Structure 1
């Protein structure tokens, strides 16, 4: 898996818009212990990694960062100027290694 840092654009730091389904957020919290509202903090990580994922239906990305010094990985897609959160979980070992070594 290729890891590289995403260049932060001005809108990325100011006025980021997120969208998600609240029922998916609730399911994610039950399954992974974090809801999508709390997961938005991931984008405050200056070292956030973004890795393209091979999906046929739409372009998706894996974002790897830290929340309270714990590594989390989020699957997202971009819709207009919004970040649509699809899922969030604790990062896997290889994702942590990619984050720490990039």
Structure 2
């Protein structure tokens, strides 16, 4: 199931990029803030090493949340990741990197 969600995320994002790319890297933050699951409104995306902002579709955001939930159930400590970096090459190769640290863009919401 985990692999299927990862592929759905990639397909959803790639279909919504409106320029030619050889590689894109996307960064998303998701965290529980006061009992509510919150994700970064905009994700940082790099197209061929140039950074920009990218609005994830609702479907992509939901897939990331599902992936986060599935992974926490498979984690020995039931931890939820808070930061995900996804790199995709135009040849179909991809890699995910997850962090459990304080998400910098969402951390300001905890102080409100």
Q: Of the two, which has the highest radius of gyration?
A: 2
**TM-score scaled by length of structure 2:** 0.29
TM-score by length of 1: 0.31
